């Protein structure tokens, strides 16, 4: 996952930088708006509100509260190595996301009105990347406490599902190009895999 995620991110980044993904990005964004009325996303009004709620699961404040709560619980429970993994993955993933945004400096989509407030560059999607890092890392740690494979699989399915929903919500709201989200997912998964390796090393000592 580490190798494949990193490679996929590099390919997407190269194509996006050269403008090769513009047709794909444009087609997806327009497909999510009412034909002839780009101000209105497809679907009923309640769906837009639901998507706005989902996207908040990848917001920095929500993720910070989740990570802080989990880390404090693990410390109180005497599992300081687990706490280090959770906090390390979250902080390093967030910093990497911000550095990449500044480096690529890709503007936000202007093809359709943005339905959420944003203040940073577009590539890669911070919501998609950091959500992948945090939810997949938490999922992997939680799965360790289950013995049955189906329970482990269920935990990871939920982690992946939340990550996918958060990323997809950014496209629906028009604040990211689809390739921003794809790149965020790929690099976030790779970064989570890196921290899985670190956790494996720390927790076996």
Known catalytic residues? 127, 176
For residue 43, what is the DSSP state?
S
What token pair was written down for 109? Answer: 């989509």
DSSP H helices, 34-148, are 45-55, 60-76, 80-104, 126-143
Q: Is 32 exposed, middle or buried (0-12, 13-18, 19+ CB in 10 A)?
A: middle
Q: 174 φ, ψ to 5°?
A: 75, 20
**What is the distance between the alpha carbons of residues 196 and 201, in angstroms, rounded to a whole number?**
9
């Amino acid at each position: 996952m580490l190798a494949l995620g990193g490679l996929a991110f590099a390919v997407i980044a190269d194509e996006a930088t050269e403008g090769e993904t513009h047709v794909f990005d444009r087609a997806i964004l327009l497909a999510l708006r009412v034909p002839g009325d780009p101000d209105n996303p497809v679907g009923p009004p309640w769906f837009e509100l639901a998507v706005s709620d989902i996207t908040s699961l990848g917001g920095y404040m929500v993720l910070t509260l989740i990570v802080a709560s989990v880390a404090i619980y693990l410390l109180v429970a005497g599992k300081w190595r687990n706490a280090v993994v959770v906090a390390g993955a979250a902080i390093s993933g967030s910093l990497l996301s911000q550095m990449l945004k500044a480096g690529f400096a890709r503007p936000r989509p202007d093809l359709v009105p943005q339905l959420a407030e944003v203040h940073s560059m577009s590539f890669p999607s911070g919501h998609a990347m950091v959500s992948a890092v945090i939810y997949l890392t938490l999922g992997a740690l939680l799965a360790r406490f289950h013995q049955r494979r189906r329970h482990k699989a269920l935990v990871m399915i939920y982690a992946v599902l939340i990550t996918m929903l958060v990323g997809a919500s950014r496209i629906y709201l028009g604040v990211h190009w689809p390739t921003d989200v794809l790149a965020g997912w790929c690099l976030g998964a790779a970064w989570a895999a890196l921290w899985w390796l670190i956790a494996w090393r720390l927790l076996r000592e």
